[in-house]
């Protein structure tokens, strides 16, 4: 079992993401995350989906929020899920889940800590988090290393699904490297800030990495006024 003791909660931070699937599980937005879960499951029907990358073209499009909520809805379905903060430049998942970030992914990749020591429990049944760990000087090199490949083999044996929250595609190469190693990639696109040219560049980058693009999630998309919402008791 890859379990560590629950970390002490940290004080609230502006980097904390909104976990709508927990705070308002009956909302329309929470239901959309469950729809995303269903679409991912059907998209991967021809192969076993073990690793999923969540990324965006530029910063600020909501990739970390989406990664966290997608992890939660898969755990709520009964899956054993590991959410990995692979953004070793500007990590945020430890703020969202109120966890310490003393050791994490970077600690494993430089062989300072074994995998078992850095996986943390959350308050959500079935959901575990590996924080980024200390920010290294060479994130791209660590992600492309053989140690990363070994890490993937280890966690794939223990978890039903591993979700990676990565840096955006255009500023750095980290997400391209990960997309080649993962079974599927979700591209988050913000309706208010994303530029068409950037989304095209991001898609080209993923294609160049031979990534399997499972779909695009439109973030901050206004619902039409005639949208019907059914509430089941």
Task: Please name which of 153, 144, 155 lies closest in space to residue 116, comparing C-alpha atoms.
Answer: 155
Report d(CA 107, CA 137) in Å as an integer: 13
Q: Is residue 12 part of a domain?
A: no
Range of the domain at 111: 48-219
Q: Is residue 31 part of a domain?
A: no
- CATH number, domain of 164, equals 3.40.50.300
- Tell me if 199 is assigned to some domain: yes
Helices (H), the chain: 20-23, 28-43, 63-76, 93-96, 105-109, 115-118, 139-143, 146-158, 174-181, 196-208
CA distance 113 to 29: 38
Number of domains in the chain: 1
Residue 7 lies in a domain: no
26 within domain boundaries: no
Which residues are CB-neighbours of 142 under 8 A, at least 6 positions away?
A: 88, 106, 109, 110, 136, 148
Q: What is the pLDDT along the chain (233 residues), one digit of tens a residue?
A: 455 444 444 444 455 568 999 989 889 999 999 999 999 998 876 778 999 999 999 999 999 999 999 999 999 999 999 999 999 999 999 999 999 999 999 999 999 999 999 999 999 999 999 999 999 999 999 999 999 999 999 999 999 999 999 999 999 999 999 999 999 999 999 988 889 999 999 999 999 999 999 999 998 876 655 555 444 33
21 falls within a domain: no
Cα–Cα distance list, 109 to 86, 104, 117 (Å):
11, 9, 13
Alpha-carbon gap, residue 109 to 116, rounded angstroms: 13
Strands 119-121 and 127-130: antiparallel
Indicate whether 14 belongs to any domain: no
Residue 230 placed within a domain:
no
pTM: 0.89
């Amino acid at each position: 079992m890859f379990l560590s003791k629950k970390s002490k909660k940290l004080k609230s931070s502006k980097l904390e993401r909104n976990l709508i699937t927990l705070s308002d599980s009956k909302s329309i937005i929470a239901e959309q995350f469950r729809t995303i879960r269903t679409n991912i499951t059907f998209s991967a029907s021809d192969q076993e989906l073990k690793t999923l990358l969540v990324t965006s073209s530029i910063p600020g499009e909501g990739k970390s929020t989406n990664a966290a909520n997608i992890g939660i809805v898969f755990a709520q379905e009964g899956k054993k899920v590991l959410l990995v903060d692979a953004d070793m430049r500007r990590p945020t998942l430890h703020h969202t889940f109120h966890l310490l970030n003393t050791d994490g992914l970077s600690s494993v990749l430089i062989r300072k800590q074994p995998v078992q020591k850095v996986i943390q429990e959350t308050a959500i049944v079935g959901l575990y988090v590996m924080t980024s760990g200390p920010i290294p000087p060479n994130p791209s090199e660590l992600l492309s290393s053989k140690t990363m490949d070994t890490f993937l083999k280890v966690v794939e044996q223990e978890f039903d699904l591993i979700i990676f929250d990565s840096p955006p595609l255009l500023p750095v190469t980290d997400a391209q490297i990960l997309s080649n190693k993962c079974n599927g990639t979700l591209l988050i696109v913000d309706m208010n800030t994303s530029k068409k040219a950037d989304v095209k560049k991001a898609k080209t980058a993923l294609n160049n990495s031979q990534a399997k693009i499972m779909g695009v999630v439109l973030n901050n998309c206004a619902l039409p006024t005639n949208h019907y919402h059914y509430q089941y008791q």
